[in-house]
Amino acid sequence: MLRIGVSGLGRAGLETARYLLEQQDIRLVCGFCSPESSKRNKDLGEILGSRDLGIPVISVGDISKLDILPQVVIDFSPPEGALVNAPVFFENKINLVLASTGFSELHLKKITNLALKHNRGIVIAPNITMGVNVLMLLSQIASDILSSYDIEIIEYHHNKKVDKPSGTAVKIANQLPGEPIIHAIRAGGIIGLHKVMLVGQNDKIEITHESFSRAAFAEGALKAAKWVNNKSGVFEMNNVLDLNKILNKYVKKDVTAV
C-alpha cells in the first residue's frame, strides 16, 4: 500500500486529503504545513472537521518525529514553502509531486537539481488535472495544423489565486507557435477554466477545459504519485499520462505513395 503525505493544506490540499482518505489502495500518513500555521500539531481529522484519524499535521522541520514516513508527498505549498520542503523530502528518500504554481525558472532549477542530486523522482505538475493535459495536447496539434491562425488563451480562476496568469496558461502558450496572448480573469469562486481559441479569417476553433471540483486536482495528483513512486528523475504530467504513446496510435508510420 502506497504511503502518501500532503503538503500545503489550503483548499486544493485539503480536498486532495479528503479524496485520498476514500481510496483503498493508498495510506495517507501525514500532512505538512508551515511552522507558523494554526494547523501545526493537529490531527488531520480535526482540520477536516471529522473525528481524529491518527494522521499528524507537522512542519517539515519535525519530520523526524514521524513514526511512518510517506513514500511520496503531494505538495500544494506556495513556492516559498515548496523550496523549503523539497530538500527535506529528498534527504528522507521521499519522492515528490509538485502541484503548486508560480515558480520562477530559477526556483524550479534548484528543486530539480536537488532531486537529481538525491536520486529522487519528481513530477512537476502545475497542470495537475488530467483533462487540462489533454487540452494541451489538442491545442498543440491544432496550432501546428492552423499555423496562420491567431491564438488567444483565456484562463479563469477564483479571486484568491495569486499568480496571474496561471502557470498552466503560461505553459500552454509556451508550447504553441507564435506568440499567443493570455487573458487572466480572477473572479468569485471559479475553480479553474482554460480556453484556447484559434481564430482564422473564416472560422475558429475553441478548446476548453473546466474543473467542476477540486477533486479533479486530487485525481490527477494521485495518478502522478502512484506513477512516480520508485522512480528517479524529473518528469511532467505528459510522462505520467504517456500522451506521446497515445498520440502515436493515431499517426501512420508507413505512408505508401499512391
Clarify whether residues 85 and 154 are in a common domain. no
Strand partners, 204: 199
Query: Which CATH number goes with the domain that contains 46?
Result: 3.40.50.720
Domain span at residue 111 reads 2-127+215-244
Would residue 183 show up in a list of annotated catalytic residues for this protein?
no
Would residue 161 show up in a list of annotated catalytic residues for this protein?
yes
Provide the number of structural domains found in the chain: 2
**Which entry of 107, 110, 161, 231 is annotated as an active-site residue?**
161
Clarify whether residues 103 and 200 are in a common domain. no
12 domain residue, yes or no: yes
9 domain residue, yes or no: yes
- Residue 186, pLDDT score: 97
For residue range 51-105, what is the model confidence (pLDDT) as tens digits?
Answer: 899 999 999 999 999 999 999 999 999 999 999 999 999 999 999 999 988 888 8
Between 57 and 166, whose confidence is greater? 57
Clarify whether residues 43 and 136 are in a common domain. no
**Which entry of 39, 42, 118, 157 is annotated as an active-site residue?**
157
Pair 154, 183: CB distance under 8 Å: yes
pTM: 0.86
Distance CA 15, CA 60 (A): 20
Pair 100, 75: CB distance under 8 Å: yes
Q: Quote the mean pLDDT of the chain.
A: 92
Clarify whether residues 56 and 89 are in a common domain. yes
Pair 181, 153: CB distance under 8 Å: yes
What region does 230 belong to: left with phi over 0, alpha with psi -120 to 50, or beta?
left
